[in-house]
Structure 1
Amino acid sequence: MNFKQFIVFLHYITQRDYRFFRPFFEWYATTENEEKTVKEWLDVPFVLKEKEEWIERANHFSIRAYERELRAANIQVIAYTHPLYPPLLRHTFDPPALLYAQGDVSLLTSALVAIVGSRKATSYSTEGIRTIMPALLEERYTVVSGMAQGADRMAHEEAVRQKVRTIAVLGHGMYNTYPKHHRALQQYLKTHELVISEYPPSMKPRRWMFPKRNRIIAGMSEGIIVTEAERNSGTMSTVDYALSHGRTIFAYPGPFTNPLHEGPNALIEQGAIPVISPTQIQEMLRKEREINRGIYNNS
């Protein structure tokens, strides 16, 4: 197998992030199409405790069959070193080593903005998302969200309705859908937009996967727009990760008597930009694009 096939195999059996794979990428930086066995690829000058286990597992794994399976499902593998790997995500401290992608992979290098919020989001989120979408369309932003119930689904569906490109980041493998009643939405997005995951396609959803998914949403986006969220929620973990990487946070202000506005109101109190009009968010996103221009140009 060549180096890319080796990395796909090793990721399939370990599901580890870039910190584990970094020595391999660096050690084999000049390798292109050289063919080696798994044992030969694992002959590296750094410690690999499970080396013998991986060699044994390679005896029961056909990379050719796995590649045929992925092609049949129209799944592409975008490694950390691939030109289409999202530029901002590459600069986070724990990026995925690989992304599995179904759909228009060119969207990965477009200007991205995340829309996130509560699974219990109300019509307030629906109206807010609908109102800002024309500004995102004019600025040619792609909307990123997690295809969860509530605000995520609203963001994807409104983007589709207003012809804004959108990316769904899954917290599980692509052969699965969560929640299950989003099956039609996932099918549409993988056909007409883009669906990505850091997990091999057969991985079923587990509770711990969704917080990890949130770091991808935050890491690949220039800014995060928060509609409604309780103070202690998964949405706020996405925001915390975004803040740790210097992303700009936008939040919809709302009545302090509603628990779903506690999160956004607290963010505004801490310095997030309150969303007061489409024009205002459009101007702020233009500034973000200028700030990040160097990363896009040098990725």
Structure 2
Amino acid sequence: MTDANDLRDWLLLLRTPGLGARRLREGLAVRGGARGLLAWLGRHPASLTADGRAWLDHPDEASLAGDLAWLAAADHRLLRCTDEDFPPQLEAMPDPPAALFVKGDAALLLRPQVAIVGARQAQAPGLANAARFAAALASGGLLVTSGLADGVDGAAHAAALDAGEPTVAVIGTGPDRVYPRKHHALAQRIAESGAIVSEYPPGTHALAYHFPQRNRIIAGLSLGVLVIEAGVKSGSLITARQAGEQGREVFALPGSIHNPLAEGCHALIGDGARLVQRPEEILAALAPAAMELGAELRARLERAPARPPSRRGQGVDWRQDDEYRRLLDAMGYDPAPLDALVGATGLSPGALSSMLLMLELEGEVAPLPGNRYQRVV
């Protein structure tokens, strides 16, 4: 379980103006954790901006209490860069987040993902293509990730859910807010079977500069980015550029030369993005990277167990492990929600997420919509 004081220390740091993800990560590594970093900042106030010093001297206790209240929900989590199940693919980013607020199943962030992005004002053919590709890619084993925006993003999320698969939405507001407001129902569906992810604490409003920052996380989580209908100055091109800089695959759908929303895709293709016409092309292109990520996660979970090393050692044979057996016994063979497994096993959501991922990689457990899991007979 996460220590309550440590969690509060993290929230203090995440809300400190001017600190930023890069400095926070560096400080955590050098100072030995959140408490050590806070102590060091207290002794070196000149290292902070005036706003940062004012915040740490007199933090807004109501905001911190709100953060803690939000995190108290069973399906809410602060996923920290020091956690064992923090997505390893984010570490390849030049400016990875220090922590993510997650509503839903945080373990989904470890799966092979494909981002689908595009114009907010997408035309009917673009929306249809977003739905067709999202449904096929989700059914083909890739988790569809997007930004919950109007247009292509919303169509992709909805199509993945309609195909019976989870989807991940990375948003530019706090995890307790929905932007645009018209997507409240869609956001609820995503949270129930997938995950809503934010770098920003609860209560954060939609600000223009948040969305390019959000885009870098979409690109970082994904093995590849598919752009469907984008103007030449579209935010989707920012996501595609960030994906290319991170060594990810960039795919683009061609369109009519008379459609201004095809100009961004054509520019991407001219710059070296892969022209695609069918979902199978993307599945084939990303299969090697997906297998590599799966192998990396398997090795990582075996090296870094979900509970203290003194009890598990460096490698683990889960078939001989008491807690894995207790988890499987608690599951039975009927679909089991994660929060029910927490109550039945006494294990933390983070530990269970890691163990369930290990069992999924071993072919023993299958994830289901609604943040549920079922043993494979």
Among all aligned residue pairs of Structure 1 and Structure 2, give the percentage whose two residues are the same amino acid: 33
Moved more, 73-82 or 185-194: 73-82
Contact 2:67 2:202 in 1 (8 A): no
Q: Output the CA distance in 1 between the equivalents of 2:60 and 2:200.
A: 22
Q: Which has the larger radius of gyration?
A: 2
After TM superposition, the score normalised by the length of structure 1 is 0.87
- Counterpart CA distance in 1 for 2:240 and 2:60 is 43
1:139 positional shift: 3.6
Distance 2:294 2:147 in 1: 25
- The total of aligned residue pairs comes to 295
- Ranges in structure 1 where 5+ consecutive residues have no aligned partner: none
Letter in 1 for 2:212: P
1:14 equivalent among 12, 17, 25: 17
The structure in which a higher percent of residues are helix is 2
Deviations 1:136-186 (A, max 9, x none): 234421111000000000000001011222000111112222111111111
Query: Structure 2 CA distance, aligned partners of 1:74 and 1:187?
Result: 12
Which structure has more RCO (C-alpha within 8 Å, separation ≥ 6)?
1
Question: Counterpart in 1 of 2:145?
Answer: 144
Alpha-carbon separation, structure 1, partners of 2:236 and 2:123? 15
* Contact map agreement 1:133 1:164 (CA 8 A) in 2: no
For residue 210 of structure 1, what is the aligned residue in structure 2? Answer: 211
CA–CA separation in structure 2 for the residues paired with 1:257 and 1:157 = 28
Whole-angstrom CA distance in 2 between matches of 1:180 and 1:264: 28
In terms of mean alpha carbon deviation, does 187-196 or 140-149 score higher?
Answer: 187-196
Q: Is the 8 A contact 2:252 2:269 kept in 1?
A: yes
Displacement of 1:7: 1.8
2:367 corresponds in structure 1 to none
Structure 2 Cα separation of the partners of residues 15 and 100 of structure 1:
19
Distance 1:12 1:52, change over 3 A: closer
The alpha-carbon distance between structure 1 residues 207 and 63, as it changes in their structure 2 partners (threshold 3 A), is closer
Deviations 1:213-262 (A, max 9, x none): 11111111110001110111111111111111111011111111111111
Q: Secondary structure of 1:186's partner? A: helix
- Sort the Cα spacing of 1:37 and 1:113 in 2 relative to 1 into closer, same or farther, 3 A: closer
The answer on whether the counterparts of 1:88 and 1:295 sit within 8 Å (CA) in structure 2 is no
The 2-side partners of 1:239 and 1:215 are apart by 9
Per-residue CA deviation, residues 179-227 of structure 1 (Å, 9 max, x unaligned), is 1111111122122211010001101111111111111111111100011
How far, CA to CA, are the matches of 1:162 and 1:218 in structure 2? 23
Letter in 2 for 1:7: W
Q: Deviations over 1:27-69 (max 9, x none)?
A: 344x69xxx6996364578962357534422484685674234
Is the Cα contact below 8 Å between 2:66 and 2:202 reproduced in 1?
no
Residue of structure 2 in register with 1:247 after alignment? 248
| Match in the other structure for 1:280 | 281
Residue 57 to residue 263, structure 1, CA distance change in 2 (3 Å):
same
Higher deviation after alignment, 133-142 or 56-65: 56-65
Structure 1 residues 16 and 95, CA, compared in 2 at 3 Å: closer, same or farther? Answer: farther
Stretches of structure 2 that go unaligned for 5 or more consecutive residues are 302-377
* Cα distance in 1, alignment partners of residues 294 and 45 from structure 2: 36
Say if 1:237 and 1:55 are closer, same or farther in 2 by CA, change over 3 A.
closer
8 Å Cα contact 1:6/1:38 also seen in 2: no
Aligned to 1:48: 47
1:13 partner amino acid: T
For the 8 Å contact 1:17–1:94, the answer to whether it is kept is no
Q: 1:237 maps to what in 2?
A: 238
Which is worse superposed, 176-185 or 55-64? 55-64
Q: Which moved more, 1:169-178 or 1:47-56?
A: 47-56
Does structure 2 retain, via aligned residues, the 8 Å contact 1:16–1:97? no
Query: How does 1:48-87 map onto structure 2 within 5 Å?
Result: 48-50=47-49, 52-58=53-59, 60=61, 66-72=67-73, 74-87=75-88
